[in-house]
Amino acid sequence: MKIVYLIAGTFNSGGMERVLANKANYLVSHGYDIIIVTTDQHSKEPYFSLDKRINCFDLNVNYADNNGKSICNKLLHYPFKQRIHKRKLTQLLMRLKADIVISMFCNDVSFITNIKDGSKKILEIHFSKFKRLQYGRNGLWRLVDIWFNRQDEKIISRFDRFVVLTEEDKTYWGNLPNIAVIPNARTFDASEEVSELTSKNVVAIGRYDYQKGFDILLDIWNEVCKVVPDWHLDIVGDGTLHNEFQNIINKYGIEDRVTLAKPTDNIRQYYLNSSLLVMTSRYEGLPMVLLEAQAFGLPIVSFACKCGPSDIITDGVDGYLIEEGDKKLFTDKLVDLINNKLLRLQMGTTAKRNSERFAQEKVMKKWTDLFESLVAK
């Protein structure tokens, strides 16, 4: 069976790309013919390692040319980019003759179902229904986000199957006949060693942007530092808000208690060398860092944002779910876990056991069953 995955942009270091790399490598090792199509990759190598049997194509559409430009400029040039994208993608898909084409809910989503290449079309979303409205943008951008959010509801009905990550998100979309729930799989094998939960270290992982809410985390950590003298926070990531976060750290005078650490391809060491993971995101899809943290036996303190944390964390059992915006309760629960080693160990053991729900074999069987059912029709 030939399957094509579509990415608008580059195969970079993001969570969606990491999930795709894992799925693609799994599928090609189980006899599937896998192709990945990008729009702005050019000659750059994919950030994550791909099996040599996976074929990659770049359409050279260059959506990134409009990054940093005004909204009017983007709105003016976007239709032109779309026409180029549709023309090049149509030519490629007609040549490939795939059985299934999967859109990652990117720039191809508005026209991919109009390409009559004979393939079944799947739409896969890695955020919640409210993704666009959670950007926190104002003015004209806010109106654009509202408009696109309404268009999403119309577009998804055109696909043979619409795959969301969580049961929570499924409820937001309503009673759709083509909807299915398939979570991300954890990226580390069950045989991996677990953290001893004895280090005085807390870890957070993600891009330095609005979504991840690290500005909120630094407010919380400043309060933790007032009552806990010797614990350290690593925030692993990179992005446009790096300097803003460093300024917050400097303002609070906690430079020796926080490290803004660069991304690494050996992220497992951060899990193994930490005793807790924290997540203060404003919105998510199904956060890979939570799945990974559980695989390493880490208790988690997380805001119960839309969507994902409530599908992964059982409050008071393997971590804590905190109502969005309640920084005081987040601080209190984090301090409780820091000061109670026995509680950390109990929650960590449960977290490791609960991570089995997201084992790769279990999750990928849901995907292969879906593929087989669509092609059989």
Phi, psi at 246, each rounded to 5°: -65, -35
Residues 174 and 222 in one domain: no
What's this model's pTM, rounded to 2 decimal places? 0.82
295 in any annotated domain: yes
pLDDT score of 130: 67
pLDDT score of 175: 82
82 in any annotated domain: yes
pLDDT score of 127: 80
Query: Of 187, 354, 330, 342, whose CA–CA distance to 271 is shortest?
Result: 187
348 in any annotated domain: yes
3-state secondary structure at position 43: coil
Residues 219 and 235 in one domain: yes
Query: Of 178, 243, 175, whose CA–CA distance to 214 is shortest?
Result: 243
Residues 13 and 92 in one domain: yes
Q: Give the number of domains in the chain.
A: 2
310 in any annotated domain: yes
Q: Concatenated DSSP letters for 238-258? A: --TTHHHHHHHHHHHT-TTTE
In sequence order, which residues have a C-beta less than 8 Å from that of residue 168 and are 6 or more positions away?
A: 128, 306, 307, 308, 310, 311
Residues 11 and 114 in one domain: yes
Strand-pair category, 201-205 with 276-279: parallel
Low-confidence residues of the chain: pLDDT under 50: 133
Residues 50 and 137 in one domain: yes
Residues 68 and 126 in one domain: yes
pLDDT score of 31: 97
> 307 lies in which domain range?
201-358
191 in any annotated domain: no
pLDDT score of 67: 58
Residues 363 and 353 in one domain: no
Q: Concatenated DSSP letters for 182-193? A: -PPPPSS-TTS-
The CATH number linked to 117 is 3.40.50.2000
25 in any annotated domain: yes
pLDDT score of 190: 58
61 in any annotated domain: yes
Cα–Cα separations (whole angstroms), residue 15 to 91, 103, 127, 141, 216: 29, 16, 11, 25, 21
> What HEC string does 53-117 produce?
CCEEEECCCCHHHHCCCCHHHHHHHHHHHHHHHHHHHHHHHHHHCCCEEEECCCCCCCCHHHCCC
Residues 205 and 115 in one domain: no
Residues 211 and 351 in one domain: yes
* DSSP at 46: P
Q: Which residue has the tokens 């299915």?
A: 180
Residues 244 and 151 in one domain: no
Angle between helices 214-227 and 242-252 (to 10 degrees): 20
Residues 179 and 210 in one domain: no
Cα–Cα separations (whole angstroms), residue 227 to 129, 200, 216, 335, 364: 39, 14, 18, 8, 45
H/E stretch holding 309: helix 309-312
CA angle 286, 290, 293 (to 5 degrees): 155
Residues 297 and 351 in one domain: yes
What is d(CA 74, CA 93) in angstroms, rounded to the nearest whole number?
27
247 in any annotated domain: yes
